[in-house]
């Protein structure tokens, strides 16, 4: 399966020591830091905003190399937050298409800041959301749980969707990342990677144990098989 990127989700971290938690997963080999933004409107939960994103920036470096912050916006509307997260150091901003009025406009807005743009599809969202915008996207994020909470069970029906999006990306000939988010652990990582994902989000599977490096390595090793 080649090189798989592992993106620990901070939602499962100890928020009272967030900087240290970020530093610990960065040291443990995280390829990206997945930053979940919830607004108690688009999803029934409230998490963190641009000020927290800004605050973790200094901890997102390994041997002086920046580890990108992968912002997952679960908010409605989307556009007003894009400049704030751009300013706060996001490298990727992904959003849910049904949460914005003009999907193409929001993608262009994100890219106008020199940031990678991602579209997020919920388990029940059809792939036709990609029809006219795949050429503008840097990343597709497929949800394998319903957004709003960490620690939920992986929804198996998403696997054929991953395979279908992989086909569309390959046919496009562009280097679009395919990320999967929700309920991923060392027991299902191989199936997700086999279906065509190249980037795996893991919250509770990384922060739930004592040894973050062991957890990240276990997911990476399964995905690479
Ligand atoms: C769910 C979030 C996910 C979640 C992943 O709304 O988008 O990123 O935190 O956590 P786990 O891996 O515990 O499902
Ligand atoms: Zn997420």
Classify strands 65-66 and 61-62 as parallel, antiparallel or unpaired: antiparallel
Element (H, E) at 22: helix 18-27
Of 62, 35, 60, 66, whose CA–CA distance to 50 is shortest?
35
Instruction: Catalytic residue, from 39, 70, 138, 181: name it.
Output: 181
Nearest CA residue ID for atom 6, ligand 1 = 147
pTM over 0.95: yes
Q: Each residue's pLDDT tens digit in the chain (225 positions)? A: 668 999 999 999 999 999 999 999 999 999 999 999 999 999 999 999 999 999 999 999 999 999 999 999 999 999 999 999 999 999 999 999 999 999 999 999 999 999 999 999 999 999 999 999 999 999 999 999 999 999 999 999 999 999 999 999 999 999 999 999 999 999 999 999 999 999 999 999 999 999 999 999 999 999 998
ipTM > 0.90 (yes/no): yes
Residue-number span of the structural domain to which 194 is assigned? 5-224
118 appears as a binding residue in the annotation: no
Query: Nearest-CA neighbor of 23 among 63, 75, 51?
Result: 63
Domain at 14, CATH number: 3.20.20.70
Distance 95 CA to ligand 2 centre (A): 10
34 CA to centre of ligand 2 in angstroms: 6
Structure tokens at 187: 């027991």
Q: How many structural domains are present in the chain?
A: 1
Testing ligand 1's pocket by substitution, the residue of 145, 197, 207 carrying the most ligand atoms inside 8 A of its CB is: 145
Contact 178, 165 (CB under 8 A): yes
Active-site annotation holds for 64: no
């Amino acid at each position: 399966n080649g090189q798989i990127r592992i993106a620990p989700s901070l939602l499962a971290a100890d928020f009272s020591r967030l900087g240290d938690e970020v530093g610990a997963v960065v040291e443990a080999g995280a390829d990206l830091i997945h930053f979940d933004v919830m607004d108690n409107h688009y999803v029934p939960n409230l998490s963190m905003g641009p000020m927290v994103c800004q605050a973790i920036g200094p901890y997102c470096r390994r041997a002086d190399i920046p580890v990108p912050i992968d912002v997952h916006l679960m908010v409605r509307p989307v556009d007003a937050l894009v400049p704030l997260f751009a300013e706060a150091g996001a490298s990727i901003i992904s959003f849910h298409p049904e949460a914005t009025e003009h999907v193409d406009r929001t993608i262009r807005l994100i890219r106008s800041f020199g940031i990678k743009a991602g579209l997020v599809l919920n388990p029940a969202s059809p792939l036709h959301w990609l029809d006219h915008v795949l050429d503008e996207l840097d990343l597709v994020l497929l949800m394998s749980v319903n957004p709003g909470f960490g620690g939920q069970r992986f929804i198996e029906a998403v696997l054929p969707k991953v395979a279908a999006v992989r086909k569309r990306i390959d046919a496009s000939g562009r280097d679009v990342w395919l990320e999967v988010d929700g309920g991923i652990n060392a027991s299902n990582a191989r199936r997700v990677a086999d279906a065509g994902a190249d980037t795996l989000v893991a919250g509770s599977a990384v922060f739930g144990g004592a040894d973050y490096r062991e957890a990240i390595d276990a997911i990476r090793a399964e995905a690479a098989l």
